[in-house]
Amino acid sequence: MQARRIAFWPLLVLAALLAGCASLPAPLQQIPSTALSDTGATRLGRATAPAAAAHPGKTGAYALPDGREAFAARYLLAQTAERSLDLQYYIWRSDTSGGLMAQAVLEAADRGVRVRLLLDDVNTGGFDTTLATLEAHPNIEVRLFNPFASRNWRAAAYLTDFSRLNRRMHNKSFTADNQVSVVGGRNIGDEYMGIEVPVEFTDLDVVLAGAVVPEISASFDAYWNSPSAYPAASLLPAASPDEIAAVRSAWDGLRASPLAAAYLATVHEMQLVRNAAAGTVPLEWVPARLVHDDPAKVLHPPERKETHMLPHLEAALGVPQRELILVSPYFVPGKQGAQALVDMAARGVNVTVLTNSLAATDVGPVYAGYVKYRSELLRAGVRLYELKRGSLPMGEQDKPRERHGIGGSTGGSSGASLHAKTFGVDRSRVYVGSLNLDPRSIRLNTEMGVVLESPALAGRLARVVEAEVPANAYELRLAPNGRVVWIERTGAGEITHNRTPETGVMRLLGVGLMMLLPIEWLL
């Protein structure tokens, strides 16, 4: 064993040297392009025009709390698009939903649709052949945001280029014909789209039409044409005809598989799909505002706040007068954020936070960062809830459950983890997007989302918190001795947990160790 450890270090050093020797191509190879503006005659344009004309300056919104509906909305847009698809994602898995969606995008390109696919490069490892296949299509262009120069030594690249590679594009948008967009917290992958996985993410997206869509397209253009977006063709070897044929064949096989066939059959039976076919999707027309980071954020020190979206988000949401609801899977408010919530509670605002429990989270270090602020917030009167593993808030309990790429039967997932990022103010305004309330989202990565002046959606969020969250999450309180306890509501009454529920000793020790490390700025 000792000999193996000794042999490992020269390999690691060699990998770091090889990664360090790789360099990115000159960004001058980039050819600028912008969203198509003359798309009013498309099917999507004709379908949304009457309602948009009846609500000038407003945006039609339809919430997608269900993962299968979220897939259906994107799938339908890919199938319906006639002129363009502009797609921006942090993660695109090579699993069932990722493969089905990629095939739908490829088929759109086969019909003559112009496709622009912008992916953050941190999660594309192993997908270079698939990306090169898409890039080879005359109607598809792929760009990679803040890419790795070395395609084979990614982990080692962090040792030589950490400051750059630590900055990622977390944005998520899917826009068809510059007429309809889907924006929210979901990436493309089975755990986001309601397919059987060990842990399914509970999330929220919105379908948008009308005034805000050109703003989303303009944001996409800014990222697409930014110096950090590299053409995939400048980074990847071209796909051979045999590789292209193999990828297409694999997607054909995937769509014919029992799991994909059952999933698509379920999706096609959803009310959203039937409404879309009948042209009766119930959009709520409201004032809306897009908020997003400047793509230059990843090129500047985190202190350069002029590139940050947070001040714009705060302005759009306004100052809470009565109620603030924060739903964030990764919640590390920091000293300033915690103090702001304490001050808000002190002036009588009802502040409620829903985040993941340690058992439900997929990122333990973030939970360690959050632990530092719990007692302070509870003493101030802030209500804290931690989602139980396997629970489904956000309005999903009453829906039948069916069962983290591009590359049996359905049933329920064995667990659930909160992934939605949504904030409600005074039951009148609501944010839906990609921003977590943690230092990484606020200072390091780029994010986006929409603020809707929607009493209906904001009220729905408040009702979920009141009626559903208490049964599906632990409520944290302070015991007389000042220690945090977890209150679990059951049919037999309340159960008080004096230690972190559903968590083993080793994981608790790991959280304790993480709390000692100066890593909050990375969380």
For the annotated catalytic residues, the residue numbers are 170, 172, 177, 419, 421, 426
Three-class secondary structure of residue 136 per DSSP: helix
How far apart (Å, rounded) are the C-alpha atoms in residues 488 and 482? 19
Tell me which residue has tokens 């809470």. Answer: 320
Helices marked H in 32-190: 43-54, 67-80, 96-110, 128-136, 154-165
C-alpha 215, offset from chain centre = 19
Q: With contact defined as beta carbons under 8 Å apart, do 204 and 194 qualify? A: no
φ and ψ at residue 412, rounded to 5 degrees: -85, 150
198 φ/ψ sector (left φ>0, alpha ψ -120 to 50, else beta): alpha
Q: With contact defined as beta carbons under 8 Å apart, do 324 and 347 qualify? A: no
Complete DSSP assignment for 67-81: HHHHHHHHHHHHHH-
How far apart (Å, rounded) are the C-alpha atoms in residues 306 and 114? 33
Cα dihedral 479/481/483/487 (nearest 10): -20
Q: At what angle do helices 258-268 and 241-256 cross, to 10 degrees?
A: 60
φ and ψ at residue 240, rounded to 5 degrees: -80, 160
Residue 13 CB: number of other CB atoms within 10 A? 12
CB burial string 253-262: b at 16+ within 10 A, e below: ebeeeebbeb
Structure tokens at 467: 């009626």
Residue 21 CB: number of other CB atoms within 10 A? 11
Q: What single letter denotes the amino acid at residue 300?
A: H
How far apart (Å, rounded) are the C-alpha atoms in residues 478 and 184? 34
CB burial string 354-374: b at 16+ within 10 A, e below: bbbbbbbbebebbbbbbbebb
How far apart (Å, rounded) are the C-alpha atoms in residues 460 and 458? 5
Which DSSP letter does residue 25 get? P
Structure tokens at 400: 């039948």
H or E element at residue 325: strand 323-327
